[in-house]
Each structure stands twice: as structure tokens, then as C-alpha cells.
Chain A
Amino acid sequence: MKKKNQKAEEKAQKLARKLAKTKVQSKAKKLKENFQKFLDKTDTACPEAVASGEDTRTSLVQSANTAAPKVLTIPTPPWASSSSRPKTNFSSTAVGTLVKTPQELARRLQREQRFKALETADHAHTGRSLVDSRAEGSTAIGTCSDLEKEYLRLTSLPDVASVRPPKVLKAALELTKKKWLDKPDYESACEQLKSIRQDLTVQYIKDELTVEVYETHARLALEMDDYCEYNRCQTVLKELYADGILGNQAEFIAYRILYALAYQENLHLELRHLPMQLRQHPFIKHALQVCKAIKARQHWRFFELFNGAPRMSPYLMDPHVKKLRDAAYSAIIKAYNAPPRLPLTFLQWQLGFSHPKHGQEDLAKFIRVQGGVVDLENGFIDVQLSRSAVIGPPRA
């Protein structure tokens, strides 16, 4: 490679000299063409030389045009301010290696300063981050007092002025709850709660307030069937409870049991890890009774429990409702014979459509889907006819 470069260099110089000498235009043109061809060839061989080669090309062509004999000098690249740049050798370093000259280092320093300027622009007033204040020994508590804050993933160290202290966070939580009750908007509530969680995390706050925030978020997630978020909150809550922080532990253990029951994930393990002192708690008792009702296929008992379910439990009992209803319907159709007609009110309670008015319409719809024969105005179902009709979707 070196030899090649040397040869190429010599040739270039030769051509340049010839070009400078000729005064005849036609000859000069021909020489220029040759020179161009030659430079194109050397482009592929020495890419680094290309950058300077181009300039050499222009300068050489220029010098050729002036027709005054000129010494071949390599012009300095335009970005170098002061140039005592070494001659770019064709035989210089291979592709990709940087030449660490003082000028190059100066240039790098300048580029760095540009990015630093961008960073400092972010921190408007103090420019102090939470980490700094913690390093200084003082407790890292934020100073922001906004009740509502947009949630953004942290890309840099959190700034003291943008993080909210616990008092503010408590008020923010209350505001979120109130807004949810007035007008349920899951996305904005989620965002606010996530930003409260973020502020708590960066300040390493793990106390009753943290538990309350996660519990609220979990409840909202359950209401909106957002099981991903719910599971995330449950994981954190499990750790917080294990650390001994007080909260509605019984309630959330009940949810864990119901969730495992609904999605058949290791229910017997949840029961194994049930703490002794909480076993008699009404929420947990309710959850256990639900488990028992499901396993014993007692639909009456299940719907009774469903109607009296505490807090968010109904949402977790929903997945069972369909299966149980189907099973209950087929049982009733099979078991009841005389009289051939059953009143819809009776079925309402058996199948969990206990809402007085539109419960009957929903029930009628359900029966029709199953292939049953129902008379809505007079309020009964014809059992015999329903039995012989095609039964709807397959039951597990």
C-alpha cells in the first residue's frame, strides 16, 4: 500500500509539473483529462486522501490554469483555523485512525462545549440536581410545588426544582382522586399518578404515602381492566408490605387470591403464603369463599358473593361470571321439567342478572344466545323447548 501510494504521489507530481509547464491549450486539456482520470483511480485506493485529494485536485487544476509554474503545495482544509497541519501524505495513516494533533484536540474541546451549553440551558435557575444535593449531605427533597405535573421518562438527573416534596405529593394525590370521582379520565389520572410515583422514587421515599399512591393506582387499573399496570403496582406493594409499611394489606392479598383464581396462576401458592394473622379478615374471608364457590360450582353462592363484594373485588370476579352462568344455565335447563315454564325472576337471581329493570332484558338476550326460548312480555322461559333447541357455544 505504501509503495503504491509513493508511486502514485510521484506520478501526480509529474503530471502537475507537466501541466504547469505546457503553454499549449490542447495539450494542457489532454493533460488535465489524464490527471482527472488518475485522481479518480487514486480516490478508491486512498479514501483519506480523497478529502485532501479533492482539494489537491482543485488546487492543482487551479495552478494548472494559471499556467505559472507552481510548487505543489497541499492546501489546508477549510475547517482548520490556524494551520501548521502536517502534509497529508498519501502514505499516511490508514483509514479510520485519527491524528491526535493539538489542533484536533482543540476542535474536540470546542465540540464538547457546544453540548455542555445545551445541558446548562435545561437547568434554568439553579442547575442543581437531586443527586448533587444528596451528595452534599442534605436530605434530597425537591422544591417544586405544582399539583399537576406532566409525566416524562427521566433522561437526565432529576433537578431539585422540578421534584415535588411529600407534602405537595399528598395534595397532588388528593387532587387526582377528586378529579377521578368528578370525571373519570384514565389516561390523565395514570399520567399524574406515574409522575407522583416518579417523584417518590427519586427521593427514595418509601412510607405510607407511597403505599397509598400504589394502592390507588392499582384500584384504578382494576377498574379499567388494565392488568399490566395492576400487576406492576401489586409487585411493588408486595415489597412495601414486606418491609413492614402499613396499608390495606388484607385487601390487596384478597385481590391476589382472586387474580390467581381467575387466571389459574398458582392459586395454591398464594394460599400457602397467606399470613396467619390476616386469615380472619373480612376481605380475605370473602375471597376464600369465592374460591370455594367456584370450585364447588355453586352459582347461587357465587352471585350472592358477587353482589356483596367489597371494593374492587367484583372486577376480579368478572372473568368467572360467563363460565359459571353457562354452566348454571345448562344445569337448570336439564334439571327443571314440570312446569314447562320457569319465571324469569327466578332465573334472574340464579344467573346473576339481579338488577330489577334491565336485568330481564339482559337475561333474555343471554338465553337467546344459548338457544333457549324465552317470552319476555310474560316473563318466563320455556324449559322443554329450550332443552331441545340447539345449545349455544360449547361450555368448558
Chain B
Amino acid sequence: MGSSLQAYLAEVNRAVSQQNSQALSQLIRVDSLKAKNAVAGALQPSNRVNLGQMCENIVSAGDGFMPEVMLAFCQCLCALQQKRFPDAYTSICSAVSGFVKEYKQAASAWVCGPLFTLIWNMRVVAAMADKHTQLKRNPNERPDKLKDVGNKLMKVFRDTLQGAGNREKKRATLYVVTQLFKIYFSLNTLQLCKNLIKAVESPQVIPFENFPVSHRVTYKFYVGSLSLFNEEFQRAEQELSYALQHCHKASVANKRLILQYLVPVKLLLGSLPRAGLLEQHQLPEYVPVVQAMRTGNVRLLDEALETHQEAFFRTGTYLVLERLRPSVHRTLFKKISLINKELNPTKAHQLPLELLQVGLKCVGVEIDIEEVECILANLIHRKYVKGYISHTKKIAVLSKADAFPKLCNATFADPT
């Protein structure tokens, strides 16, 4: 069965000598069936295979670093099949460091593809190793493999930034950055992302449009979500819209992910999605929220947040949606003021606070008159409503012209 391993290594060698990026990338994935079968065969105790020798002999193409890369890769696969995750992780790390040397030497940019695959391998194996450690709950072992990958990738990032020998190789940088983002997001060390973003935006790096589209979309997605968590909503909207626009038509799952963050941001900024968008992208949790925004139904907003709490907690958008409450109040008050206009056309701009209280009761929210005053005061302060309150007469005097300006013109940030 050593022959299937030989055949596999021969294929690898062919790919390297032809500088066939795609073929090599397919061959050196940890989940590639070909590779797994080849190694499984060699694992039989009856075959005493000298792996190192084999790699040296067969994988001779390239700049001389491939044998050690393939050796480490095969060892990793062996370890994975025997469920020895820490060993698998160490092997794949050596494979990556070996290949980085090849990358630095290579004259053309064909090495980028295989490099991406190897980095992806490293992250995936580290995640598996950490999960395994957590399940075992051994107090001596700590699940820090993913963190280690983060450190290693920073080095790779610097290497790609230099792009020794060929400027085209610098195109690998953004992929490394996105992988680092994924790691930081799963480890919840979001503060480390800031430095990466600064680095990508620095003039050292090649212009953003030169990177492959898929990398750009992923990058913008992560930067957008980060801005959302940091409550920089304008920026979040820009980044996420870019990501959505450039996202491939067919990648439905990705579009859904982007929209999960883009919808709340757009709602906050005052623009509602067109009918059918949410159904099309399978985002049922936002349907009642949008409905509440349209009709000013505060109770509906509360219910929506309760029912879909799980989904909102997971994406981290629960508290962002809570900030929609003033907008919903504003819509409700606008409707009540219109009703008031009809009832008392002569005193249209004088809105009794009691009416607001009754209106809120109609949608199922029972609160004191003082709380009504509080809500209204906040709305006036944030320029959602133009007018003022009279405490003794208990009425709100609204501006005769445009008492409820459009939401997109109002600010939701804390006014100074």
C-alpha cells in the first residue's frame, strides 16, 4: 500500500514542478480524500515506510523545501487519523513554516494558493485540538492552540507583506488577515483586530482593489461587524454594504451572514428593507422588528426581542436592536399626533400627554405619565421630535412645520 502513497507524492511533485497552484492546493488539504487514503494505506504496520526518505526521493521539484513540507503534512494526517491532536498540530505547524520558506524563494506568485490551504489547515487542526482538550477537561492541558496559530500567523503576515521577489505575492496578505480575524473572533480577543486593520490601511500595503474579491468581501464583513460592536454605525454600514455588493451571487450563506449585521445597522440609520428581502434571505427573526418599526408598535418590538433572544444573543445584535426603541416610539407618537390632528384640527399642534399614554396602552405598554414625559424629553433632545413639553398643562407643543423629521436625518448617537 506504500504505492498509493508513492502515487500521491508523485502527483504532488508534478503539481509543484508545473507550478500548478490549484492542483497543489487541492492535494494538501487535511480533508482531501486522496491524501487521507494514501496515508491510511501507509499506516498499516506491515508496511514499514520510511516517510522521510520517500518524500526526499519523490518530491524533488521546487526549491528544495517541499520534502520537509510533505513529510510534516503526512505526519499530521497520521496523527489526525489516530486522534493525536497535539501532535497533528505540531506537524502542521512545521509544514507551514517549511512552506513559508518555499514561498519566500518562489519567483512567481503561484505559491499563494497552496499557502492559503496550509494556513487554513493549521487553523482547522488547532480548532479541533482545542475542542478535544476542552472535552477532556484535563487541568494540565490548556486549549491554547488557536492562540498559538494567531502568533504564528502574525509572522506569516509580515512575510507576505514583504512579498520577497515578486510584488504579486503581496496579494496573499489579505487572506492571512482574514484568517487572523476568524481566530480573534472565535477567541474573543477583538482588541487585536485593531492593529491588523491599521496595517491593512497603511500605505505600505498594495491598493485594496488589487486583492482577490472573495478576500475583500470577507475582510469588509469582519471590519463591519467589529464597527457594529464598537457602535460606529456609519462605518459599519459602509463596510457591510460593500461586502454585500461584492458578494458572489451564488453564496447564499455568506449573504445571509452579512445581512444579519447589515439589517440592524440600516434600521438604526432609518432605512427599512424592501418587502421580501428578509424572507428571501431566511432572516425570520427580523420580520417582527421591521414591522414594529413601520407601525410604531412597541410591544411587538419587545416580543420580537424576547422570542428570538437566542438568535440575537448569538450574533451579538440584541442590544443594538434595543437602540431602535426611540425610533419606534417616535413613529408611534407621529401616528398619535396625526389622529390628534383629525380630532382637534384647531389645536393640532398641541398634543396632550394623556393621549400618548393611551396610545401606548393600545399597543399593550402601560406606563406612568412621568415615563411618557421622559420618553418624549429624550426624543426632543435627540431631534426625533421638534417641540417642547409643558409640565403643568401636561401637553406637548409640537412645531407647526415638520414636527417629526425623517429618521435618516435624525441622529441616534448621544447628542452633546
Contact = CB atoms under 8 A, between A and B. Distances in A.
| A, B from the same assembly | yes
Contacts, number: 95
A338 B388 CA distance: 8
A339 interface: yes
A300 B416 contact: no
B374 interface: yes
B374 A298 contact: yes
A350 interface: yes
A394 interface: yes
B322 A296 contact: yes
Interface stretch (B51-59, B249-257, B390-398): B390-398
B389 A396 contact: no
Contacts of A328: 374, 377
Given A338-B388, A338-B397, A291 B319 contact: yes
Contacts of A266: 188, 190
Interface in A49-95: none
Interface in A299-318: 299-301
A339 B390 CA distance: 6
Tell me whether chain B's interface is mostly helix, strand or loop, or mixed: helix
B390 to A, nearest CB: 5
B146 to A, nearest CB: 16
Interface stretch (A169-177, A216-224, A269-277): A269-277
B378 interface: yes
Interface string A181-199: 0000000000000000000
B81 interface: no
A268 B381 contact: no
B62 to A, nearest CB: 44
A338 B381 CA distance: 16
Contacts of B375: 298, 300
Contact of A295 (B309, B319, B389): B319
Contact of B326 (A267, A291, A297, A342): A297
A54 to B, nearest CB: 56
B299 interface: no
A296 B323 contact: yes
Interface string A342-368: 110010011000000000000000000
B208 interface: no
Given A271-B318, A272-B314, A331-B380, A301 B371 contact: yes
Contact of A271 (B313, B370, B380): B313
A28 interface: no
Contacts of B323: 295-296
B376 interface: yes
A62 to B, nearest CB: 67
Interface string B300-316: 00000000011001101
A271 to B, nearest CB: 5
Interface in B327-351: none
Interface residues of A, number: 37
Given A268-B316, A327-B414, A349-B370, A337 B389 contact: yes
B386 to A, nearest CB: 11
A295 B322 CA distance: 6
A274 B414 contact: no
Interface in B372-416: 373-378, 380-381, 388-393, 397, 414, 416
A334 B313 contact: no
B40 to A, nearest CB: 38
A345 to B, nearest CB: 11
Question: DSSP class of A's interface residues: helix, strand, loop or mixed?
Answer: helix
A339 to B, nearest CB: 5
B293 to A, nearest CB: 14
B325 interface: yes
Given A269-B188, A300-B371, A346-B370, A335 B313 contact: no
Contacts of B310: 276
A322 to B, nearest CB: 14
Contacts of B389: 335-337
Nearest to A347: B391
Q: Which of the listed residues A267, A299, A334 has the most CB atoms from chain B within 10 Å of its own CB?
A: A334
B380 A350 contact: no
A66 to B, nearest CB: 73
A82 B373 CA distance: 100
A100 interface: no
Nearest to B377: A335
A279 interface: yes
Given A272-B316, A331-B377, A337 B390 contact: yes
Given A268-B318, A301-B371, A339-B392, A331 B229 contact: no
Interface centre among A267, A332, A343 (most CB of B within 10 A): A332
B319 A350 contact: no
A381 to B, nearest CB: 11
A227 to B, nearest CB: 19
A342 B390 CA distance: 9
Given A300-B371, A334-B380, A350-B370, A272 B390 contact: no
Given A300-B371, A349-B370, A394-B416, A279 B309 contact: yes
A330 interface: yes
B380 A300 contact: no
Contacts of B380: 331, 334-335
Contacts of A296: 322-323, 325-326
A395 interface: yes
A325 to B, nearest CB: 13
Contacts of B392: 339
A276 to B, nearest CB: 8
A30 interface: no
16 contacts: A266-B190, A271-B316, A272-B316, A291-B319, A301-B371, A327-B381, A328-B377, A331-B378, A334-B377, A334-B381, A336-B389, A336-B390, A338-B388, A338-B397, A339-B392, A395-B414
Q: Which 5 pairs, one residue from A and one from B, show the smallest C-beta to C-beta distance?
A: A268-B316, A331-B381, A300-B374, A337-B388, A335-B377
Given A297-B414, A395-B416, 5 more contacts: A274-B313, A297-B326, A301-B374, A343-B391, A346-B370
